[in-house]
């Protein structure tokens, strides 16, 4: 692209885009024609910045696969016109949306940087200004005309994370996200320090956007005292195609026979059972303890160090692609977008 770097900022909703009405004192979405009032420094950026606003705006609690498809379609439509994208999104489900986009945008060779804030951008102590400015600079960063971060990432509180490695950890601190099993892609200080060896490399292939997502999955989170009725109800959900089994520690689960029998029955019915640890750090290692050895024998698939957010979106993506059950199981144990360490 000749001339200045061009960045498209996509505003989907969320706290970062809220300003306080001086009369009613309630929060309302800002319009980007007054954004420069809150961020006059944007005038100094050596790049062109355009804005795309979703209608209607969505609180992140209302995000769903239909929205993810819409967002991916916008990026697909605008892909050749811009060098990078910044997505403003509510923090509560940002890790889900960003993970979903990482799978849907195959052969991505440009930055798609998600950010948001814990305080509205119109408030004096907002973290939104810094998050926004950092994200634009990262999305525009190039090295010999090649984007420095050609992948889906989250920029929050001076840290750059691989999107499909993140979870929201805190609802009150500015440090809202954690990546327990993968190092930071970059850190923002006086300079932005990129860890180039950890960032995905471009493949210069044509972008392919995969828009079929299958929502027929469930999460079965284990807890001491979980009853047969609860497990049976989830595993017999109408239309269920896959279940994420959130286990203890390194993939451990009860060894009682009724539990193993129900999982084995689900597997026999073609339901994919994906073992993901409840811990924010560490990995599933089935067979390390007696309490996980039996799971592998009945067809449960180990998820290594994948996050629940990434597991949810990866399953929706794989099932939506129309793969056979056996192919889905194989691909779940393959790192497709750097989402897990195998």
Q: Which of 295, 339, 287, 302 is nearest to 317 (CA)?
A: 339
Q: Which of 111, 139, 138, 115 is nearest to 128 (CA)?
A: 115
Of 136, 138, 161, 158, nearest to 149 by C-alpha is 138
CA dihedral 39→45→50→52, nearest 10 degrees, is -50
The answer to whether residues 56 and 115 touch, using CB atoms and an 8 Å cutoff, is no
| 341 assigned to active site | no
In sequence order, what DSSP letters do the residues of 91-116 get, joined into one string? STTHHHHHHHHHHHEET--S-EEEE-
CB-neighbour burial class of residue 47 (10 A; exposed 0-12, middle 13-18, buried 19+): middle
Phi, psi of 44 (to 5 degrees): -90, -5
Backbone φ and ψ for 40, nearest 5 degrees, come out as -60, -20
DSSP H or E segment with residue 302: strand 301-302
Find the catalytic residue in 15, 126, 277, 307: 15
296 membership: H or E segment, kind and range: helix 290-297
The residues annotated with a catalytic role in the active site are 15
């Amino acid at each position: 692209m000749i001339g200045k770097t061009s960045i498209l900022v996509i505003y989907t909703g969320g706290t970062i885009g809220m300003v306080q009405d001086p009369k009613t004192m309630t929060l309302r979405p800002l319009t980007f024609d007054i954004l420069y009032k809150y961020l006059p420094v944007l005038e100094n950026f050596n790049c062109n910045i355009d804005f795309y606003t979703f209608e209607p705006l969505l609180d992140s609690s209302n995000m769903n696969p239909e929205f993810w498809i819409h967002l991916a379609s916008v990026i697909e439509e605008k892909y050749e016109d811009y060098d990078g994208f910044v997505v403003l999104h509510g923090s509560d489900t940002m890790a889900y949306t960003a993970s979903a986009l990482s799978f849907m945008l195959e052969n991505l060779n440009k930055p798609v940087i998600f950010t948001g804030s814990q305080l509205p951008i119109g408030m004096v102590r907002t973290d939104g200004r810094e998050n926004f400015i950092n994200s634009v600079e990262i999305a525009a960063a190039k090295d010999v005309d090649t984007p420095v971060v050609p992948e889906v990432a989250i920029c929050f509180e001076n840290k750059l994370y691989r999107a499909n490695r993140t979870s929201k950890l805190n609802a009150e601190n500015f440090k809202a996200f954690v990546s327990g099993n993968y190092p930071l892609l970059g850190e923002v200080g006086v300079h932005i320090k990129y860890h180039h060896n950890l960032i995905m490399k471009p493949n210069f292939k044509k972008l392919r956007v995969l828009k079929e997502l299958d929502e027929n999955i469930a999460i079965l989170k284990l807890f001491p005292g979980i009853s047969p009725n609860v497990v049976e109800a989830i595993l017999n959900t109408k239309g269920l195609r896959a279940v994420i089994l959130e286990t203890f520690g390194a993939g451990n689960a009860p060894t009682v026979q009724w539990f193993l029998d129900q999982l084995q029955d689900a597997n026999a019915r073609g339901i994919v059972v994906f073992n993901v640890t409840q811990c924010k750090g560490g990995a599933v290692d089935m067979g390390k303890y007696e309490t996980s050895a039996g799971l592998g024998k009945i067809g449960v698939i180990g998820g290594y160090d994948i996050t629940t957010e990434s597991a949810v979106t990866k399953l929706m993506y794989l099932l939506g692609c129309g793969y056979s059950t056996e192919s889905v199981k194989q691909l779940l144990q393959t790192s497709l977008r750097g989402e897990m360490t195998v």
